[in-house]
Amino acid sequence: MERAALVRSVSCSSVLCRRYLHLCRRSYGYGCSSIPFLTTTTTTVTITKPSLSLPRRRSSRLLPSSSSPLYFPIRKHFSSCSPRAVLFPSPGFGEVKDEVAHKLGFEKVSEEFIPECKSKAVLFRHIKTGAQVMSVSNDDENKVFGIVFRTPPTDSTGIPHILEHSVLCGSRKYPLKEPFVELLKGSLHTFLNAFTYPDRTCYPVASTNTKDFYNLVDVYLDAVFFPRCVEDFQIFQQEGWHFELNDPSEEITYKGVVFNEMKGVYSQPDNILGRTAQQALFPDTTYGVDSGGDPRVIPKLTFEEFKEFHRKYYHPSNSRIWFYGDDDPNERLRILSEYLDLFDSSLAPDESRVEPQTLFSKPVRIVETYPAGEGGDLKKKHMVCLNWLLSDKPLGLETELTLGFLNHLLLGTPASPLRKILLESRLGDAIVGGGVEDELLQPQFSIGMKGVSADDIHKVEELVTSTLKKLAEEGFDTDSIEASMNTIEFSLRENNTGSFPRGLSLMLQSIGKWIYDLNPFEPLKYEKPLQDLKSRIAKEGSKSVFSPLIEKFILSNPHQVTVEMQPDPEKAARDEATEKQILQKVRASMTTEDLAELTRATHELRLKQETPDPPEALKTVPSLSLQDIPKEPIHVPTEVGDINGVKVLQHDLFTNDVLYTEIVFNMNSLKQELLPLVPLFCQSLLEMGTKDLTFVQLNQLIGRKTGGISVYPFTSSVLGKEDPCSHMVVRGKAMAGHIEDLYDLVNSVLQDVQFTDQQRFKQFVSQSRARMENRLRGSGHGIAAARMDAKLNAAGWMSEKMGGLSYLEFLRTLEERVDQDWADISSSLEEIRKSIFSKQGCLINITADRKNLANMEKIVSKFVDMLPTSSPIATNTWNVRLPLTNEAIVIPTQVNYVGKAANIYDTGYQLNGSAYVISKYISNTWLWDRVRVSGGAYGGFCDFDTHSGVFSFLSYRDPNLLKTLDVYDGTGDFLRELQIDDDTLSKAIIGTIGDVDAYQLPDAKGYSSMLRYLLGITEEERKRRREEILSTSLKDFKKFMDAMEAVKDKGVVVAVASPEDVDAANKDRPNFFQVKKAL
């Protein structure tokens, strides 16, 4: 996946929140694990916990979505997860004796114990090739391996990105089309992906099962060093680009997975802005081109250049290799030696060295255009971003840490002054740029706004500069410093990486320095620099610490690039016309024989793509056996009790002295017309302020006393019931010494916040609208999925009202209403509060260790007694749906998102655990091969919401529309003709259990258990579903065929697509789509 140049959403991005905070990085493109769309909705508003921004560019493989049933651990609802115990290595653990290392071909370079991650880290060097290996040993069962190469491109043909895709398409030991997909089908991986940065390519895997882990490692090592793609031109064509001609009489088109992925990237204004800024900041270096590939340039790449790039850079001498976890460090070196010993040293480290950008002597201004929809006030659709390159070389650790802290002070929370002042100016709808960005050789700082009027561009620039000048002159107040310090320190010590493996988070931190030949240990150690910074602030005062940084790195820095983006309603059509002209010239240059040969090659490639691998090739991929799989589901200790009439769930789990809690309120009494206001209500609770505290003071108090509070709705269907499960969830966490503070603050948020700040509320509306418009372009599959769900069940209708196209339409109307009808809106917000927050129907969930749970009754009792006791209005019946019609949601885009869905329970299907195996298998075989591999889409997958019965097909960044629907409709025939041997079936079952037993940290376990309680899922049911999964047979696949035929015949279609493709579809199938123009 290409790590795309996104202009980052504001939150704390830099050193403290990415390198030092062990939190999951968000990435775009081939998503980190699966394309995130929810059949149950959570809209989260979080305060004070710094989240990672979208980095400048990193891409990864898009994986098929898998059903993650609530009968098992839940992964799709809330990304924040708590720490697990990572103990000090036991005596002698992690030892590799020098003589053993030498025998295996390695020498020990250095060795350190890293207290921050309770790990012993040893840096080895492979004597023959110079390959560097970091071997990190601890008691974390979630083992991680990664191999990273420096891969600096010299042009925008996307070689590193295409190669990242291609090396996983078969290798010397594993000569099948895609061993990567076979691993997806049949391993217990907790992470399996690859990333392309602007200057490096990473191949990480993770698993808690040692045998499975080493299988993954071997497949990846063989893939990077001995890939088939350097000999097989058709792999290059499939993953990169090729001319496609189905018949000599037709027009030639471009196809290729990366080509279409990058078309999607270049359809998104934020991405275009980020790429433009990066390339303008670094015009003389490798960062001045696009490692992901520019669709206009990708077709210039030749197979010879592609092969040479692999030969030059994919060499052990140019690699950095990482191992982490509780496996035997001797075995790690043994596995590596089998591969590394086959190579001699090379000059790659010298040839791949990244050179720094020389600093400018004066600022630069760039004006670009982006594709915008016709209609609306284009004058107010401009974007502007100010960018600075902060240094001509990497910064020292202390300076980086201080800059990261400054970044959090400026932008890390809604109360941060630069963020607050920009949004309150009303000069734009939302912020772009995420402050400090330090993933590349030289750090940058970016900040700006989108939704800006053409006349206000310079006002935004002046406001940024004047605000920074004022902050440099006056400094930050003491409460802001204390809140930021607590927030950062809490996150560091909590070490919460969510579903992202901790070892991978540490690897990416280490690589950020190691890849530039700097010390790989330093990024893992935060304790001393953090204490030094705290001491320096205490001694010198915060102004003396931070003001010189603002002055030096920003205000007096001439290396500044201002990027202005102008909306162009004709750009998308013009780009398409240019591409067609190029292809017409290609066609005109061909003889009749050439056209016949291209047609033959097109069919030959498709035949290869659609022909299954032979059984003997499939058997080469190592896998576990069913005997390796636990027969029982993962147990989460849950004690159900009652405190003053409120149900309380307690989970006794080790959490490192952190307490996690959810306070849940029933939403069923809410009036339907108030539903779209709920997300804004959640944001208002945390960003409006109380009678005694401004929102800034409330924000700071939360930052000083807790690890964060969030409020969001949770909505899901319930198996066997018409009415949905709908709740408001208030989620928070705190260290043991601040538990009472946490509950007091939650009470204040729920009951004391005043809905009186009209201008702030209008900001919320504008921000939400801008966010939804961006989601339409970048995550159209999520919009399509929500829309289909809203047509098929009540929970889906509720979710779509709070986060789909209906919500966007509501926001656009509300934006006009705020000025004319504020009193009514404020009253509605108050009505939501009175309808939802009541002791009646409340549930409290607590995850902590036994010692802290024992002290909870008094605190919870006090909190419960402060809740309103008035009974809510009578419960509503949510028996509503959107009309069951096919819809095309039209936006300016070069790629489509195509969905089709039906409720298979309505057609007679009865849930069996085998459905999880079958739907995952359909995604990983039929849809992967037809929608992605031969269709050229970035992704194609299916999802089965077992609570509602909705079975959905979806595609992502898809060049096709009707062709993809034909593939969906062919699923029944695929199952009808399917023959599956025992080995393949076992792999499918094992892969499904891998999803079911997804690795979770303690707070995620407690949260998942709570959701199961809310949805009425018992332990007996979990066991039964697991038994059904483990006993899945070919007969079950054949039974499922009827359900797929029902989706074909009765399914509803929603596509987020370009106007040209929708027009063509309606011409081909008259009146097939009702058209809704969204942008």
CA dihedral sign of residues 313, 314, 317, 319: positive
Element (H, E) at 132: strand 132-137
Q: Which amino acid is at 737?
A: G
Q: Are 185 and 987 in contact (CB under 8 A)?
A: yes
Q: What is the C-alpha to C-alpha distance for residues 660 and 844, in angstroms, rounded to an integer?
A: 11
φ, ψ for residue 624 (rounded to 5)? -80, 170
Q: What is the secondary structure of 150-185 as a DSSP string?
A: E---SSSS-HHHHHHHHTTS-BSS--SS-HHHHHHH
The CA distance from 111 to 94, in Å, is 11
Q: Of the listed 2, 178, 182, 239, which one is catalytic? A: 239
Question: Phi-psi category of 94—alpha, beta or left, where left has phi over 0 and alpha has psi -120 to 50?
Answer: left
Residue pair 48/413 in contact by the 8 Å Cβ criterion = yes
Could you tell me whether strands 843-848 and 646-652 are parallel, antiparallel, or unpaired per DSSP bridges? Answer: parallel
The full DSSP string for 33-87 is SS----SSEE--EEESS--PPPPSS-EEPPPPP----TTS---SS---------P
3-state secondary structure 982-1000: HHHHHHHHHHHHHHHCCCC
Q: Positive or negative, the Cα torsion across 774, 779, 782, 785?
A: positive
Dist CA 165 CA 160 (whole Å): 9
| Cα separations in angstroms, 368 against 384, 464, 555, 657 | 10, 21, 25, 51
Q: Is 487 left (phi over 0), alpha (psi -120 to 50) or beta?
A: alpha
DSSP 736: G
Task: Centre a 10 Å sphere on the Cβ of residue 1077 and count the other Cβ atoms it contains.
Answer: 13
Say whether 164 is catalytic. Answer: yes
How would you class 877 by CB atoms within 10 Å of its CB: exposed for 0-12, middle for 13-18, buried for 19 or more?
A: exposed
Residue 98, C-beta contacts closer than 8 angstroms, at least 6 positions apart: 108
Sign of CA dihedral 879, 882, 886, 892: negative
Q: What is the DSSP string of 724-735?
A: PEEEEEEEEEEE
DSSP per-residue string spanning 253-295: EEE-HHHHHHHHHTT-HHHHHHHHHHHHH-TTSGGGS-TT--T
Contact between residue 606 and residue 823 where contact means Cβ atoms under 8 Å apart: no
- Given a contact cutoff of 8 angstroms between Cβ atoms, the answer to whether 664 and 1013 are in contact is no
Joined tokens for residue 578: 């240019």
CA distance 305 to 290: 16
In 3-state terms, what secondary structure has residue 848?
strand
Residues paired with residue 125 on neighbouring β-strands, in sequence order: 107, 132
Q: How far apart are CA 512 and CA 221, in angstroms?
A: 21
The residue whose two tokens read 């980052």 is 8
Residue labelled with tokens 């840490």: 401
Determine the Cα–Cα distance for residues 647 and 919; give it in Å rounded to an integer. Answer: 36
Annotated catalytic residue within 2, 164, 437, 564: 164
Read off the DSSP letter of residue 2. Answer: B
Q: Is 830 annotated in the active site?
A: no
Q: Which residues are catalytic?
A: 164, 239
